[in-house]
Amino acid sequence: MTTVGTADAAPGERATGRLEVGEGRDGAPVSLPVCVIEGLEDGDTLYVQAASDGDELNGVGVVNRVVPMIDPAELAGTVVVVGIVNVHGFLQNSHRNPIDDTKLNRVYPGDAEGTTSERIAAATFEVAREADLALDLHQGSTSRMLDEVRIRCGRHHDLHDACLELASAFGTGFVLDQKGPDGQLARVAADEGIPIVDPELGGAVGWDETSIGRGVEGVLNVLGDYGFLDREVERSTQVRAAGFDRYAAARGGLVRYEAELGDRVEAGDELFRVTDVFGAERAVATAEESGVFWRTRRLPQVASGEYVCSVGTDVDEV
């Protein structure tokens, strides 16, 4: 039997419920939607969470589709899912938690007596720390980004190789292997000895079905690769970047890209042009270093000095 909040699942069962994380401004309890899938056979526990950034809905889309696909009768081990972490942000479609204007994935491991965000982090970390593996589903917010998996513990961490294995098993084809900021679940859980990655499933306003499909496949790949499900998984080579170069517009106007997300670019290659309303060219931006065309802004209009795109740098294959 596995219990998370009000969800209790016996072997061979799937149960949903709520995990209390405090009280709202109206005095009513605030809780997160949780699901426990308890396999008929014993095994490890996979923890999955989505929407710690409240506007990152592709992860919720993955949970929404993959949970019904996991048959507890076929499962060895346990899958625990927190479907919406930043519930306050989700309700208002905001990235940060609007109650305390905080980015939730900067306050792990949290504090059960702390701010609203710290309480949510503490409640979810208490669940995550019981797991053997963890996935924290994100996306490049509302910008356009390729589907990638982030390893946040840093390359010198004891768990780095285990996190890289997990990223390869998830298998979107792209990995960002760069130590993350303090307070990320992907840092704190790794410090507790739990291999963890942040799948970053594209970028969208609302749901992007292609990225959600890759996320569903990724979760099923992990379940197959780590022996939760009897599923053939073929590992593929991952293109890995160590960081980003960010490019801004030299002049204001409308952006047209000269590369597609995922393209290899060499130093000197054109990345984008800024044009005026009537199509006349105002500026051309070229890559300073080689890398992979990784992320762009969503809207075409830019001011001079405004962010346009990112190129993943120090690229290798793993």
> Whose CB is nearest to Zn ion?
138
Q: How far is the CB of 270 from Zn ion (least distance, A)?
A: 30
Residue 87 contacts residue 32 (beta carbons within 8 Å): yes
Return d(Cα 97, Cα 83) in angstroms, integer. 16
Under the binding rule (CB under 5 A), the answer on residue 138 touching Zn ion is yes
**Pick 138 or 187: Cβ nearer Zn ion:** 138
Exactly one of 53, 55, 148, 208 binds Zn ion (CB under 5 A); that residue is 53
Q: Which of residues 79-98 bind Zn ion (CB under 5 A)?
A: none
**For residue 100, which amino acid is it?**
D
* The one segment of 18-26, 50-58, 189-197, 254-262 that binds Zn ion by CB under 5 A: 50-58
**Pick 53 or 225: Cβ nearer Zn ion:** 53
Q: Which residue has the tokens 């519930």?
A: 87
Residue 51 contacts residue 90 (beta carbons within 8 Å): yes
**Pick 4 or 51: Cβ nearer Zn ion:** 51
**Pick 53 or 147: Cβ nearer Zn ion:** 53
**Pick 90 or 272: Cβ nearer Zn ion:** 90
**Pick 138 or 214: Cβ nearer Zn ion:** 138
Under the binding rule (CB under 5 A), the answer on residue 152 touching Zn ion is no
Q: How far is the CB of 139 from Zn ion (least distance, A)?
A: 6
DSSP 274: E
* The one segment of 51-59, 145-153, 220-228, 239-247 that binds Zn ion by CB under 5 A: 51-59
Residue 270 pairs in a beta bridge with: 286
* The one segment of 2-10, 49-57, 216-224, 241-249 that binds Zn ion by CB under 5 A: 49-57
Residue 165 contacts residue 187 (beta carbons within 8 Å): no
Q: How far is the CB of 53 from Zn ion (least distance, A)?
A: 4
Residue closest to 99 by CA, chosen among 159, 172, 23, 174: 23
Q: How far is the CB of 259 from Zn ion (least distance, A)?
A: 24
- Tell me the CA distances in angstroms from 65 to 1, 16, 59, 95, 284, one per residue in order: 24, 15, 10, 22, 42
How many residues comprise the chain? 318
- Tell me the CA distances in angstroms from 72 to 99, 181, 236, one per residue in order: 37, 36, 28
Which residues fall within 8 angstroms of residue 108, CB to CB, at 6 or more apart?
121, 125, 183, 184, 185, 187, 188, 189
Q: How far is the CB of 71 from Zn ion (least distance, A)?
A: 30
**Pick 121 or 271: Cβ nearer Zn ion:** 121
3-class state of residue 69 by DSSP: helix
DSSP 306: -
Terminal Cα-to-Cα distance of the chain (whole angstroms): 38
* The one segment of 9-17, 47-55, 116-124, 165-173 that binds Zn ion by CB under 5 A: 47-55
**Pick 57 or 162: Cβ nearer Zn ion:** 57
Under the binding rule (CB under 5 A), the answer on residue 103 touching Zn ion is no
Please report, as ranges, the residues that interact with Zn ion according to CB under 5 A: 53, 56, 138
